[in-house]
């Protein structure tokens, strides 16, 4: 059987020479390396896609931000309770008497203070009272002090958990915010790569498409069939026509989609949750054939995009970055569901 020989590895000098040669070749300008600049239409499609992709993380961000606010309120309330309990403990220490309080603070071994080292302080106090080691008043004060301290320790543990939860939600919110801003930054970069003339053409094309689809952001007064709260909500939404879409915004100068629907119904005295998904889950579902002005429309799915039905086959919504609050035909996007607040 013949000896199998490995091929001799190239010398370091040979590797260096090949590296230089490869580098030299890569530096030569070639036609294939110069990527063709995207056309205005290609840029517009890429920008539209990026804006669409930013919608889902925007709604996730809104949900996380709401959770963060709730946790912060809970933490604030807990800290208030902690302060009150600490004050109560301080007052109880004063009641116990200067000597017992001093021994307690210094870790003294007076029998009336040893209860804090006992596995069952209440049982110890009962025995101490029988043996006449501590007065009824002092025993009661010590028992109350011990109870308050246990409560304080539990409150502190709860506060620590909530603070940890806040830190986690902040990290998640930042992640979603970065995701949205990353997509919007890419879109801006693409738009900035166009010349002024190309940008003007793109805007003109967009306006033509919107007009053909029946979209309108011209300020108008609602004179449809709605009444009561639904009419108030629609009138509020109409007053926002032409205001820009801004992710994460609930007004008054700009809105995202669920920010507009929530603000409109809030103006009518109805409190809706923050996100598209939460609004979908909270509302009473209605069939497309039973739509009434004021109903909330969900397009695509239950957590991406929503608006408000205004009657006559039209809806008002905050579309996406770069566009304004507008009125569109109900079927300008794939209808998914509708709910009634």
Following DSSP, what letter does each residue of 183-213 receive, concatenated? HHHHHHHHHHTS-HHHHHHHHHHHHHHHHHH
Q: Are 291 and 274 in contact (CB under 8 A)?
A: no
Buried b (16+ CB within 10 A) or exposed e, 232-264: bbbbbbbbbbebbbbbbbbbeebbbbbbbbbbb
Q: Which of 8-17, 207-216, 292-301 has the lowest mean pLDDT?
A: 8-17
Would residue 317 show up in a list of annotated catalytic residues for this protein?
Answer: yes
Domain architecture of the chain: domains with CATH = 40-192 (no CATH), 217-340 (3.90.1720.10)
Looking at residue 6, its pLDDT comes to: 41
Whose tokens are 């370091």? That residue is: 12
Rounded CA separation 305/267 (Å):
21
Q: Which of 130-134, 147-151, 201-205 has the lowest mean pLDDT?
A: 130-134
Helix 40-96, helix 98-106: angle, nearest 10? 130
Looking at residue 16, its pLDDT comes to: 36
Instruction: Check 65, 125, 187, 257 and give the catalytic one.
Output: 257
Q: What is the pLDDT of residues 263-303, one digit of tens each?
A: 999 999 999 999 999 999 999 999 999 999 999 999 999 99
Q: What is the pLDDT of residues 304-316, one digit of tens each?
A: 999 999 999 999 9
Instruction: Check 317, 318, 320, 328 and give the catalytic one.
Output: 317
Q: What is the pLDDT of residues 166-179, one digit of tens each?
A: 888 888 888 988 98
pLDDT, greater one: 98 or 29: 98
Looking at residue 43, its pLDDT comes to: 83
Give the single-character DSSP code of 286: E
Question: What's the angle, vertex CA 184, arms to CA 181 and CA 189, rounded to 5?
Answer: 120
Tokens of 282: 């909270």
Q: What is the DSSP string of 12-29?
A: HHHHHHHHHHHHHHHHS-
**Cβ neighbours for 215, distance < 8 A, ≥ 6 positions apart:** 326, 327, 328, 329, 332
Looking at residue 5, its pLDDT comes to: 42
Rounded CA separation 58/254 (Å):
15
Rounded CA separation 327/317 (Å):
7
**Average pLDDT taken over every residue of the chain:** 79
Look at residue 77 and tell me whether its pLDDT is greater than 90: no
- Name the pTM for this structure: 0.64
Give the single-character DSSP code of 216: B
Look at residue 250 and tell me whether its pLDDT is greater than 60: yes
Tokens of 173: 């919110």
Look at residue 205 and tell me whether its pLDDT is greater than 70: yes
Instruction: Check 85, 148, 243, 305 and give the catalytic one.
Output: 305
Looking at residue 289, its pLDDT comes to: 96
Tokens of 169: 């939600």
Taking CA atoms, 39 is separated from 53, 198, 202, in Å, by: 21, 9, 10
């Amino acid at each position: 059987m013949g000896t199998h020989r490995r091929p001799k590895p190239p010398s370091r000098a040979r590797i260096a020479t090949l590296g230089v040669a490869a580098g030299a070749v890569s530096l030569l300008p070639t036609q294939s390396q110069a990527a063709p600049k995207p056309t205005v239409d290609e840029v517009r499609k890429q920008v539209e896609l990026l804006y669409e992709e930013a919608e889902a993380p925007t709604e996730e961000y809104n949900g996380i931000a709401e959770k963060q606010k709730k946790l912060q309120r809970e933490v604030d309330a807990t800290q208030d309770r902690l302060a009150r309990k600490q004050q109560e403990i301080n007052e109880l220490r004063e009641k116990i008497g200067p000597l017992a309080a001093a021994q307690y603070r210094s870790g003294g071994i007076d029998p009336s203070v040893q209860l804090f080292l006992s596995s069952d302080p209440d049982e110890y106090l009962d025995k101490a009272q029988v043996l006449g080691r501590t007065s009824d008043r002092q025993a009661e004060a010590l028992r109350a002090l011990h109870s308050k301290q246990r409560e304080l320790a539990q409150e502190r543990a709860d506060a620590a958990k909530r603070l940890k939860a806040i830190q986690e939600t902040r990290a998640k919110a930042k992640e979603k915010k970065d995701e949205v801003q990353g997509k919007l930054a890419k879109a801006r970069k693409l738009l900035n790569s166009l010349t002024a003339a190309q940008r003007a053409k793109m805007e003109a094309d967009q306006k033509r498409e919107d007009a053909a689809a029946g979209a309108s952001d011209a300020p108008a007064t609602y004179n449809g069939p709605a009444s009561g709260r639904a009419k108030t909500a629609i009138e509020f939404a109409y007053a926002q026509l032409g205001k820009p879409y801004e992710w994460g915004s609930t007004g008054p100068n700009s809105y995202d989609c669920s920010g507009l629907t929530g603000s409109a119904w809030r103006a009518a005295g109805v409190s809706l949750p923050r996100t598209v998904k939460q609004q979908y889950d909270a509302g009473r579902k209605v069939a497309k054939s039973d739509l009434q002005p004021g109903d909330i429309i969900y397009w695509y799915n239950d957590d991406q995009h929503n608006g408000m039905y205004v009657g006559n086959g039209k809806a008002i919504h905050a579309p996406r970055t770069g566009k304004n609050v507008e009125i569109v035909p109900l079927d300008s996007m794939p209808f998914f569901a509708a709910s009634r607040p």
